[in-house]
Structure 1
C-alpha cells in the first residue's frame, strides 16, 4: 500500500503538470496527500519542516542564478545580439542547420560549467530567432535545448563540471574524467540519435507546411529595424560567461578559503558562511554579471531605440521568479516522496537485480524519475547503496570508474519526466505547454535512458573504459 501511495502522488503531479496546472500549487498538494494517506498526524509538520524547508533552501541558493540568467537572456534579446548571430549562422550554414547549431551552443555552455537553467535563459533568444527565420515549428525548440543542455554534457561527457558528474566522485573515489571512452561514445550515441530524430520531425513538419507557429507566448522582443552588431561581438557574451565561470571557479577558493566569518557592526553575532560550498554558485553569478555588463555596454546603442530596458527587466524578473518557484516546489515534493516508506521499499527492492551495472542504472533511473531530479535521485541512491554497488563491482572485477560513469549517465535519464523542474522551467521560458512540446522532450528522455545501457553494452562487449 505504501508503494502505491508514492506512485499515486507521482502520477497525480505528472498529470497536473501535463494538463497545464501550476506545479507551485499541485506539488505540495500531491506530496501532502501522500503524507495524509501514510500518517495523517504528520501532514502539518511535513509541510513546514520538510517541504517548505527544502523549497526555501532551494530559493535561497538558486534564485540569484535564475534572476541573473533571465536578465542576461533578456539583454541578449533586446540588444539584437541573438539576431546578429542567427543571421550570420544562417548565412554561413543555411537555414536547415538550425537544430544542430542550437544543440551545439547549449552543449558548449553546459560543458563550460554554465548551469543548465542559465543555458535555457541565455539560449532561448537565439533559438527563437533561428527557428522563426528557418520556419521550424517552435514546439521542437524545447526538445532541441534539452538535447544540448540536459543530456550528454550534463553527465556523460568526461570532465563535465555539472553536479551530476561530480556527486559520484565522493562515493567511488574517482574523478570527473572517469571512464572517458564510455562517456564520449555515450555522448556521440545521444547526439546522433537526438539530432536525427529532431531533423526527421523538422522535415515532416516542413512537408506538412507547418511553420514557426502563431499566437505564441513569451516571444523575444528584438525590434525588426535594429542595427545589428558584428556577429563576433554578439557571440562574445556567451563565450565570456563560459570562460568567466571557469576562471572564477578557480579564483574564488583562493579569495575565500574555507569558512568565511561575516562580522559587520550591526550584527548581534558573527555569521559563519561556508564559502567552499558556494564556489559554484558564486562563480556562475560573477560570470553572468560579466556577460550582462558586456552586453549592456556593447549593445546599448541597439537597446536605446528598442523596447524599454525597464520593462524588459521586469519581464526577466517575473520569469525568473516563476521558474525558481516551479523548480523549488519540485524540490520540496521530491524531499517528501523520498521520506515516505513506499519510496524506501522501492529502493530496497531494487537491490535484488544481480548485475552490478544494470542494478545501478535501473535504480538511479527510477529514483531520479520518482524525485524528478537527476542530482536528487543520484544522491539518494548512492547514499543508500554505494557500499553495495562497490562490493558487487569488486566481486565482478568492474572498475569503479565504470560504476561512476554509469551512475552519472543514469541520473539524467528518467529525471526529465513531466514533473521535472528543469522541464517545467524550459517550457515556461519558451512559452509552451506540456501538451504542445513535451512529447518531443520525452523522446530525448528515452534516448538518454538507452544511453546508459548502451555504455554498459560497450563495456561488456569491448572492455572499454
Structure 2
C-alpha cells in the first residue's frame, strides 16, 4: 500500500515540478496521470479515455461559457480603455499618500466587477508604478499590493463575485454566488485590514532604511494616463451591470430558474435540479449584458481592435479552461487508485469539523496544482458529496460549505509555481526573490482567515 501512495505522491510532485518549469499542463497532466495508474497497477487506456477525458470534458461543458465570456468582458474593458480609466481615477483620487490603499481598491473594483485577474494586473500596473514612484515606495511592493486587491477577497470571499472560484461550488452544493454573504463579508474585511497593515508595515520598514522606489528596474511602464481615456462613471457602468444583473437573475423574482418550465427541463434536457445551474445561467446573461455595455462605451476605439481582441480572449479562455480541466481529469483518475483511499481518510480525519476538513482538502490541492480553480474542482469532484452529506448530518448549510471551499482555494494556490504569480512578476519586471514574500504573506493571511472562520462557525452550530 505504501508504494501505491508513493505513486500518487510522485505523480503530484512531477505535476508541480513540470508546471513550475513551464511545461504545458495540458500535456503534462495526462502523462503524470498515466504514470500514477501504471505504478498503481491500473489499466492505462480505460483510465485515460473513460475517466480522465470524461471528467475533463464534463468540466469544460459546465464552465466554458463562463471562461469565454469572462475573458471577452475583460478584453473589451481593456481595449475600450475602461479598465485603465477606473484604475487611473481611483489611484489619482486617493493620491500618493495612500498609494497602497489606492492600488488595492483599484484592483478590487475591477476584479469584483468581473474583469479577469490578468487583465487587472496589466491595467493597474502603469498607474501603480507611477504613484509608487511619486510616493517613493519600493517598486518591489507593487506585486503584493496588486495580489491583495485582485487575488484574495474579491476573487472568492465577497458574495456575488463573478470570478470562477465563486462559481465552481454552485455546481456541487446547489448554491448561488451569494452564498453565506455575512461570512464572506467578514472574511473579506479581515483579509483587507490584515493585508493593508502588512503592506504598510513593509513600506515603513523601507522608509526607515532609506529605501525608495529604486532605479534600474526592468519593464518600467510608459507614463500612465497620456492617452485620453473614457469617463470614469461610464467606465464603471459595465461592472455595475454585471454585478447587478447577476444578483437579479440569481435571487429576484425574475431569476433565470423561473424562465423555463421544470417539467420541460427535466424531460427534454435531463435537468432535474435547476438550482445547480442557476448561478452559471445568471452569470452568462449578466456577462453578455456587460460586454455589450462595454463595447458601446467606446465603440470607435473597440472597432479598431475588436478582431485581435476577441481572438486573444478566445485563445486565453481555451488555454485557461483546458489547463484546469486537465487537472480535474488528473484528480478524478487519482481518486480511483487504491492509494487514494488512505490519503482521503487522512484528509477527512484532519478534523471532525467538515468545514475545517474541507478547507484543508481544498487548500492542499490548490497548492499542489498551483491553481485555485484546479484545486477547488479536484477537491469537490472527489469529496464534495461527502462533505455535503456530512454537513447536513451536523446542521451545516450548503452555503457555508460553498463559502469556505471558495475562500480556501485562494490560499496556498499562490505558491511559486502558480501561473498568476509568474505572470504578475513578469508584468512588473520583478523576480520571486524581490517580491514573492509579500504575495505569499497576503495569501497566507487569507488561508488563516478561512480556518478562523471555519473553527468559529462550529461554535454556533
Tell me if the contact between 1:127 and 1:141 (Cα under 8 Å) persists in the aligned partners.
no
**What is the distance in 2 between the residues matched to 1:272 and 1:434?**
50
| Aligned residue number for residue 117 of structure 2 | 120
Tell me if the contact between 2:110 and 2:120 (Cα under 8 Å) persists in the aligned partners.
no
| Alignment of 1:89 onto 2:90 | yes
| Aligned residue number for residue 413 of structure 2 | 416
**What is the distance in 2 between the residues matched to 1:414 and 1:193?**
14
Deviation (angstroms), 1:69: 1.8
Deviation (angstroms), 1:345: 0.7
Which segment is superposed worse, 430-439 or 67-76?
Answer: 430-439
Compared with structure 1, are the counterparts of its residues 59 and 138 closer, same or farther at alpha carbon in structure 2 (3 Å cutoff)? Answer: farther
**TM-score between both structures, scaled by the size of structure 1:** 0.75
Compared with structure 1, are the counterparts of its residues 86 and 378 closer, same or farther at alpha carbon in structure 2 (3 Å cutoff)? Answer: same
Tell me if the contact between 1:70 and 1:320 (Cα under 8 Å) persists in the aligned partners.
yes
**What is the distance in 2 between the residues matched to 1:444 and 1:438?**
10
Deviation (angstroms), 1:251: 2.7
1:252-401 equivalences in 2 (<5 Å): 252-258=256-262, 260=264, 272=269, 274=271, 276=274, 277-303=276-302, 308-353=305-350, 356=353, 361-363=359-361, 365-366=363-364, 369=367, 372-378=374-380, 380-384=382-386
**What is the distance in 2 between the residues matched to 1:85 and 1:402?**
32
Gaps of 5+ in 1: 263-269
| Aligned residue number for residue 78 of structure 2 | 77
1:219-238 equivalences in 2 (<5 Å): 226-238=227-239
Tell me if the contact between 1:362 and 1:410 (Cα under 8 Å) persists in the aligned partners.
no
Deviation (angstroms), 1:390: 6.5
Tell me if the contact between 2:350 and 2:357 (Cα under 8 Å) persists in the aligned partners.
yes
Which segment is superposed worse, 61-70 or 291-300?
Answer: 61-70
Structure 1 residues 80-120: Cα deviation after superposition (integer angstroms, max 9, x where no partner): 222322232122101464554454466567767x5xxx542
Compared with structure 1, are the counterparts of its residues 158 and 88 closer, same or farther at alpha carbon in structure 2 (3 Å cutoff)? Answer: closer
| Aligned residue number for residue 14 of structure 1 | 16
| Aligned residue number for residue 454 of structure 1 | 452
Deviation (angstroms), 1:353: 4.7
Tell me if the contact between 1:107 and 1:153 (Cα under 8 Å) persists in the aligned partners.
yes
Tell me if the contact between 1:76 and 1:295 (Cα under 8 Å) persists in the aligned partners.
yes
Compared with structure 1, are the counterparts of its residues 101 and 237 closer, same or farther at alpha carbon in structure 2 (3 Å cutoff)? Answer: farther
Structure 1 residues 30-61: Cα deviation after superposition (integer angstroms, max 9, x where no partner): 22211111125x11111111222222222223
Compared with structure 1, are the counterparts of its residues 411 and 37 closer, same or farther at alpha carbon in structure 2 (3 Å cutoff)? Answer: same
Which segment is superposed worse, 81-90 or 234-243?
Answer: 81-90
Question: What is the DSSP-based 3-state SS (H/G/I as helix, E as strand, rest coil) of the residue aligned with 1:278?
Answer: helix
**What is the distance in 1 between the residues matched to 2:71 and 2:131?**
25
Task: State how many pairs are aligned.
Answer: 434
Tell me if the contact between 2:404 and 2:454 (Cα under 8 Å) persists in the aligned partners.
no
**What is the distance in 2 between the residues matched to 1:160 and 1:430?**
25
Compared with structure 1, are the counterparts of its residues 38 and 140 closer, same or farther at alpha carbon in structure 2 (3 Å cutoff)? Answer: farther
Compared with structure 1, are the counterparts of its residues 85 and 335 closer, same or farther at alpha carbon in structure 2 (3 Å cutoff)? Answer: same
Q: How much is the aligned-residue C-alpha RMSD, in angstroms?
A: 4.3
**What is the distance in 2 between the residues matched to 1:402 and 1:70?**
27
| Alignment of 1:49 onto 2:50 | yes
Deviation (angstroms), 1:312: 2.4
Compared with structure 1, are the counterparts of its residues 310 and 99 closer, same or farther at alpha carbon in structure 2 (3 Å cutoff)? Answer: farther
**What is the distance in 2 between the residues matched to 1:435 and 1:209?**
15
**What is the distance in 2 between the residues matched to 1:254 and 1:67?**
25
**What is the distance in 1 between the residues matched to 2:49 and 2:151?**
31
Structure 1 residues 326-367: Cα deviation after superposition (integer angstroms, max 9, x where no partner): 222222222222322222211213454565365565455445
**TM-score between both structures, scaled by the size of structure 2:** 0.75
